[in-house]
């Protein structure tokens, strides 16, 4: 049927407002810092068939894009005649949604006039789901926690008490985990109520026709953007730390054919014996995000924008693992896919970033805390990389004040890492240096889900690599990553995040920009001279805590001589 284009625009904007309401309700009622502070979540609205119409502004691609395809499993498991108002479904099956036991998707069917007209859903990282905690130590998914098939959490508005008791009995943080589930239910309810009022306001019996036009518009816009790329096959390769001595190689072939893109990960490493494996749904999530972000980020994010992008990976590979493969730390591989893909797309080179979000889980008697931190983003074509920015996850780092309020822990240091961004005409973003200690004479432990402690983010077009990270004891040895490590009283842990790669020859960077970097303490005066060929002198008081721009001097003649020699 023909849909009024003005009505489509009005309802599209109203849906964005409703999605903001849904996310705000979820965040404001959440119990865990994972959701409340780091926004490890996604919120979306779907038509009656489970096709995603739109998402909220916040949220991570691994959740939202995986939920977009995963909703079809909910619709297939519970057809409309098996549902009624007040029903709420959930699952954390890795192969159906976001690829990890800790990520729980909660879906609510919306009824108006006695018929199912839409769905609201959210996916959040639960603070705990049992098992080994989040690490790569498991050898089967069964070791990683409580796996829930698609079930009814609420039946006609009544909580499934048996299911709630089952979850509570299997997690270390029952109040936080169940509290977050109720927050997800609340967010969905807020969105559903606003949508029903919207349909009544415009006298609509269904949202499907409007939704179809919204999605078709996004599809047309993305196809048009793809046609601006040259046809052909483009390749790229990237190496990650893997697990222990098991290095993981990721390879991609991106085929541009008219208004479609085919992304094939053939040649990537086989699935791992440890929990760094990625399910195909999660691989598709970050691959489709990377394509849209690189070529047309302004296109609204919905099922239509997925249609021109086709993603494949060999079954049994690290990017399409088969059950019962362990998957708990799948983000430590999946987060590398945007850098891999963007590096393959012609004309869209961005230097590799720190990529994998660092997630440390600190545990001791009476406390368990998930802490998220981010390294530097790679330099862009004509801009520096962003410091300590959660690309591609979009998550926020956990504030120090929250860490020290919620657990007997103290951060001794939290600062940007000087010289950690890869040198280049455009500098890579900086990582951060933090030090964690426990208060009192307690025994404690940490699960360090970290990467790029061996494989640096490389530079592009003559740019240099960013600094690798470090996870280890202060003044002591490095600690094993992706595993649980016991700590004792007095131990202090360095959590030092990697920087992003640089873009272009460092000697093409304007001396004035290098001067600003030195003043901001992004780059040391020694590196400015040795790497950038720029001579900068500090002329202020040696013991000054605050150093102003007028305390530095740029030696233009010395810089010209030094660069001419090199």
Q: In this predicted model, what pLDDT tens digit does every residue of 210-269 receive, in sequence order? A: 999 999 999 999 999 999 999 999 999 999 999 988 899 999 999 999 999 999 999 999
Q: Are residues 397 and 437 in the same domain?
A: yes
Question: How many Cα atoms occupy the beta-carbon half-sphere of 168 within 13 Å?
Answer: 9
Q: Are residues 426 and 544 in the same domain?
A: no
Query: 299, 301, 312: which is closest to 265 by C-alpha?
Result: 312
Instruction: Tell me the torsion sign for CA atoms 472, 478, 480, 484.
Output: negative
Q: Is 516 a domain residue?
A: no
pLDDT at 409: 97
Q: Are residues 423 and 460 in the same domain?
A: yes
Q: Is 122 a domain residue?
A: yes
Q: Nearest 5°: phi and psi at 368?
A: -150, 130
Instruction: State how many domains the chain has.
Output: 3
List the domain range (segments joined by +) for residue 417: 349-509
Q: Are residues 46 and 91 in the same domain?
A: yes
Q: Are residues 536 and 501 in the same domain?
A: no
Q: Is 264 a domain residue?
A: no
| Residues 530-558, mean pLDDT to the nearest whole number | 95
Cβ atoms of 35 and 23 within 8 Å: the answer is no
pLDDT digits (tens, 9 = 90+) for 46-71: 999 999 999 998 889 999 999 999 99
pLDDT at 1 over 60: no
Q: Are residues 452 and 422 in the same domain?
A: yes
Q: Are residues 503 and 529 in the same domain?
A: no
Mean pLDDT estimate for the chain: 96
Contacts of 462 (CB under 8 A, 6+ apart): 424, 425, 504, 505, 506
Query: 486, 436, 431: which is closest to 453 by C-alpha?
Result: 431
pTM higher than 0.85 for the full model? yes
pLDDT at 449: 96
Q: Are residues 504 and 534 in the same domain?
A: no
Q: Are residues 531 and 502 in the same domain?
A: no
pLDDT at 349: 74
Residue that is written with structure tokens 């992008």 in the block = 309
Instruction: Name the domain boundary from 197, 219, 241.
Output: 219
Q: Is 323 a domain residue?
A: no
Instruction: Name the domain boundary from 178, 201, 219.
Output: 219
Q: Are residues 27 and 95 in the same domain?
A: yes
pLDDT digits (tens, 9 = 90+) for 91-109: 999 999 999 999 999 999 9
Q: Is 228 a domain residue?
A: no
What percent of the chain is modeled with pLDDT above 70?
100
Instruction: Name the domain boundary from 195, 219, 243.
Output: 219
Q: Are residues 75 and 202 in the same domain?
A: yes
pLDDT at 434: 97
pLDDT at 425 over 60: yes
pLDDT at 397 over 70: yes
């Amino acid at each position: 049927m023909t849909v009024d284009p003005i009505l489509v625009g009005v309802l599209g904007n109203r849906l964005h407002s409703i999605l903001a309401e849904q996310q705000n309700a979820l965040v404001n009622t959440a119990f865990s810092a994972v959701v409340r502070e780091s926004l490890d979540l996604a919120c979306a609205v779907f038509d009656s068939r489970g096709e995603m119409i739109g998402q909220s502004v916040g949220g991570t691609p691994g959740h939202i894009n995986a939920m977009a395809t995963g909703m079809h499993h909910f619709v297939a498991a519970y057809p409309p005649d098996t549902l009624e108002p007040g029903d709420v479904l959930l699952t954390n099956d890795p192969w159906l949604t976001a690829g990890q036991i800790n990520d729980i998707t909660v879906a609510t069917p919306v009824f108006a006039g006695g018929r199912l007209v839409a769905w609201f859903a959210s996916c959040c990282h639960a603070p705990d789901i049992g098992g080994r905690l989040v690490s790569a130590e498991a050898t089967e998914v069964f070791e990683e926690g409580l796996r829930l098939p698609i079930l009814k959490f609420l039946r006609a508005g009544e909580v499934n008490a048996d299911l709630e008791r089952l979850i509570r009995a299997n997690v270390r943080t029952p109040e936080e985990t169940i509290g977050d589930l109720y927050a997800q239910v609340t967010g969905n309810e807020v969105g559903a109520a606003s949508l029903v009022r919207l349909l009544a306001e415009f006298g609509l019996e269904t949202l499907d026709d409007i939704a179809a036009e919204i999605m078709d518009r996004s599809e047309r816009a993305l196809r048009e953007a793809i046609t601006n790329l040259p046809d052909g096959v483009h390749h790229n390769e990237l190496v990650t730390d893997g697990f222990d001595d098991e290095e993981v190689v990721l390879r991609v072939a991106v085929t541009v054919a008219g208004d479609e893109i085919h992304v094939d990960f053939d040649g990537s490493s086989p699935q791992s014996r440890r929990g760094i494996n990625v399910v195909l749904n999660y691989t598709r999530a970050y691959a489709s995000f990377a394509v849209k972000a690189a070529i047309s980020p302004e296109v609204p994010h919905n099922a239509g924008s997925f249609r021109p992008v086709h993603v494949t990976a060999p079954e049994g590979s690290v990017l399409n693992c088969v059950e019962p493969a362990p998957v708990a730390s799948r983000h430590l591989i999946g987060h590398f896919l945007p850098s891999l893909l963007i590096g393959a797309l012609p004309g869209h080179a961005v230097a590799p970033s720190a990529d994998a979000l660092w997630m440390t889980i600190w545990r001791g008697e009476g406390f368990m805390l998930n802490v998220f931190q981010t390294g530097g983003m790679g330099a862009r074509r004509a801009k520096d990389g962003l410091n300590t920015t959660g690309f591609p996850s979009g998550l926020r780092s956990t504030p120090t004040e929250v860490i020290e309020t919620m657990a007997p822990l103290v951060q001794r240091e939290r600062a940007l890492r000087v010289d950690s961004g890869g040198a280049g005409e455009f500098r890579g973003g900086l990582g951060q240096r933090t030090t964690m200690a426990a208060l009192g004479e307690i025994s404690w432990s940490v699960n360090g889900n970290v990467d790029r402690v061996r494989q640096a983010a490389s530079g592009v077009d003559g740019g240099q690599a960013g600094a690798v990270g470090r996870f280890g004891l202060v003044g002591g040895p490095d600690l094993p990553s992706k595993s649980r490590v016991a700590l004792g009283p007095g131990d202090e842990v360095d959590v030092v995040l990697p920087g992003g790669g640089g873009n272009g020859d460092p000697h093409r960077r304007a001396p004035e920009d290098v001067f600003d970097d030195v003043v901001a303490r992004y780059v040391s005066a020694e590196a400015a001279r040795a790497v950038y060929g720029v001579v900068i002198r500090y002329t202020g008081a040696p013991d000054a805590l605050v150093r102003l721009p007028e305390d530095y001097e740029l030696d233009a003649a010395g810089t010209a001589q030094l660069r001419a020699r090199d």
